[in-house]
Amino acid sequence: MNDYVNEILENVKKKNAHEPEYLQAVDEVLTTIKPIIERHPEYKQLGILERMTEPERIISFRVTWVDDNGKIQVNRGYRVQYNGLIGPYKGGLRFDKSVNQSIMKFLGFEQIFKNALTGLPIGGAKGGSDFDPKGKSDMEIMRFCQSFMTELQRHIGPDIDVPAGDIGVGAREIGYLYGQYRRIRDRYDGGVLTGKGLEYGGSLVRTEATGYGLIYFMREMLKANGGLIFEGKTVTISGSGNVAIYACEKAQMLGAKVVAMSDSAGCIYDQNGIDLDTVKRIKEVERGRIKDYLKTHPDAQYIERKTEDSPIWEIKTDIALPCATQNEVTLNSAKKLVANGVIAIGEGANMPCEKEATDYFLEHNVLVAPAKAANAGGVATSAIEMSQNSMRYYLSFEQVDKMLDAIMVNIFNSLCEACANYDLGTNYVAGANIAAFTKLAKAMMAQGII
């Protein structure tokens, strides 16, 4: 039966030869689900893998806008509606100059598994643009968002497809996108986007959800492995965006000492523990660089990034949380982390570890909390935002936080169950793929050949 998996992998490679990130994501999932295919020969008969590796729809469009100098700019927009088996398509929008079809497809593919793990009725999608928000004025950001939504609105809706934020798309961008959607559609469709401001339909805890959820998941994973706890542990966190900031906040609340954070240019190391209020001011208010931290904390160190390997992974730590972007932990970095005694990796970002890096961690008995499970708190809370919009009702911070915590505990338990079922020990990476795949395959079989 493994021949079937290998044959599908070969076909996917041929068909998507120029999409390395997409191939990496598919390869990781298909390699780890081989034991399920062995047990379920009917999956081959029904072409489950062929269908699971082909997006239902890929939309690509031109986004034209005018910059502050009156110059016409053209970017490319995307929405990959990967799979709507278990609910409306759902997944974030990424604005970053690196965005291309391969990255959109890999993120959409990851999203279908992640959303299945939440246990909530949401399908998987991803979108975005190669627009680079760095250095753009507020008005340029607004004009770009309006032009992007003018096209995207044809394809989305509260029961069709519900985008949210991702890299380069935060509360400001969601506000502009929502405003343009409302202007064109001229109706209340609060649930069409999530991550909205609290004044117009957003949910409490959505801002914190991915980072908090990551720490709730890690808390469970540590507890299940010898009763480990965050208190007293040293933590390093890459990135200083939405996921990184709130992972830091919750880790500190649980008594961990976060000593380093980063952005794409370099990292800061503060042996006294990161002062998160300063990072929040720099990143959320001033939209500055992480290096600016030294202006108020001269005792901290700034280490510039000079190669593909981020300097943050050279810092000795008990727990490392990659919360910036894909493939940011190379095999080299993994070796340094292991040599420095790391005990656990928590993937806040999507696919942050190169495949070889993940394998290296697992071979060296480092616990790995896989992104599909560990960062699912963001999309789960987005689903809770959608429910509140449908109910025309708001839940309190405590209520949503409690729901988020319970969802992360459930996700961890479903991984443990899959690991036990397939004799995988603590390989939660395989456990996540197996738990999610099982659910999607069942839904696919139930819905006939479509």
Residues annotated catalytic, as ranges: 126
Residue 291: how many other CB atoms lie within 10 Å = 16
Instruction: Name 186's Cβ contacts closer than 8 Å, sequence gap at least 6.
Output: none
Report if residue 348 touches ligand NDP, rule: CB under 6 A.
Answer: yes
Stretch that binds ligand NDP, among 48-56, 76-84, 163-171, 362-370 (CB under 6 A): 163-171
Among 140, 208, 263, 354, indicate the residue that binds ligand NDP (CB under 6 A): 263
Min separation Cβ 349 and ligand NDP, Å: 3
Among 324, 366, 380, 419, indicate the residue that binds ligand NDP (CB under 6 A): 324
| Amino acid identity for residue 239 in this structure | G
Stretch that binds ligand NDP, among 145-153, 215-223, 242-250, 428-436 (CB under 6 A): 242-250
Q: Which residue has the tokens 């030294």?
A: 294
Applying the rule CB under 6 A, the residues between 271 and 310 that interact with ligand NDP are: none
Nearer to ligand NDP, 106 or 230 (CB): 106
Among 143, 378, 383, 428, indicate the residue that binds ligand NDP (CB under 6 A): 378
What are the tokens at 200?
A: 């117009």
Strand order in the sheet with 344-346: 301-304, 266-269, 257-263, 234-238, 319-322, 344-346, 367-369
Pairing of the two strands 89-95 and 72-83: unpaired
Nearer to ligand NDP, 324 or 404 (CB): 324
Q: Which residue is nearest to ligand NDP (CB)?
A: 241
Nearer to ligand NDP, 77 or 346 (CB): 346
Nearer to ligand NDP, 5 or 407 (CB): 407
Among 168, 191, 311, 370, indicate the residue that binds ligand NDP (CB under 6 A): 168
CA distances from 241 to 129, 189, 210, 282 (A): 18, 28, 11, 10
Min separation Cβ 168 and ligand NDP, Å: 5
DSSP per-residue codes, 56-104: SEEEEEEEEEE-TTS-EEEEEEEEEEEE-TTSSEEEEEEE-TT--HHHH
Applying the rule CB under 6 A, the residues between 175 and 234 that interact with ligand NDP are: 210
Neighbouring-strand partners of residue 320: 236, 345
Report if residue 163 touches ligand NDP, rule: CB under 6 A.
Answer: no
Among 12, 243, 268, 345, indicate the residue that binds ligand NDP (CB under 6 A): 243
Applying the rule CB under 6 A, the residues between 95 and 154 that interact with ligand NDP are: none
Min separation Cβ 245 and ligand NDP, Å: 8
Residue 11: how many other CB atoms lie within 10 Å = 14
Neighbouring-strand partners of residue 266: 263, 304
**CA angle, residues 269, 271, 273, in degrees to nearest 5:** 90
Stretch that binds ligand NDP, among 55-63, 174-182, 317-325, 412-420 (CB under 6 A): 317-325
What are the tokens at 25?
A: 């994501």
Report if residue 369 touches ligand NDP, rule: CB under 6 A.
Answer: no
Min separation Cβ 126 and ligand NDP, Å: 9
Stretch that binds ligand NDP, among 115-123, 143-151, 259-267, 392-400 (CB under 6 A): 259-267
How far is the C-alpha of 83 from the C-alpha of 339, rounded, in Å?
40
Min separation Cβ 423 and ligand NDP, Å: 30
Among 77, 239, 311, 346, indicate the residue that binds ligand NDP (CB under 6 A): 239
Stretch that binds ligand NDP, among 7-15, 81-89, 184-192, 342-350 (CB under 6 A): 342-350
Yes or no: say if 403 and 377 are a contact pair by the CB < 8 Å rule: no
Min separation Cβ 351 and ligand NDP, Å: 8
Under DSSP, is residue 261 helix (H, G, I), strand (E, B) or coil? Answer: strand
Residue 247: how many other CB atoms lie within 10 Å = 29
Min separation Cβ 62 and ligand NDP, Å: 24
Report if residue 264 touches ligand NDP, rule: CB under 6 A.
Answer: yes
Stretch that binds ligand NDP, among 8-16, 57-65, 261-269, 440-448 (CB under 6 A): 261-269
How far is the C-alpha of 100 from the C-alpha of 301, rounded, in Å?
35
Min separation Cβ 41 and ligand NDP, Å: 35
Nearer to ligand NDP, 150 or 326 (CB): 326
How far is the C-alpha of 261 from the C-alpha of 235, rounded, in Å?
9
Helix ranges, 190-254 (H) = 206-224, 242-253
| Cβ burial 215-234 (10 Å sphere, 16+ → b, else e) | bbbbbbbbebeeebebeebb
In the complex, the residues that contact ligand NDP under the rule CB under 6 A are 165-168, 170, 210, 239-244, 263-265, 323-325, 328, 348-350, 375, 378
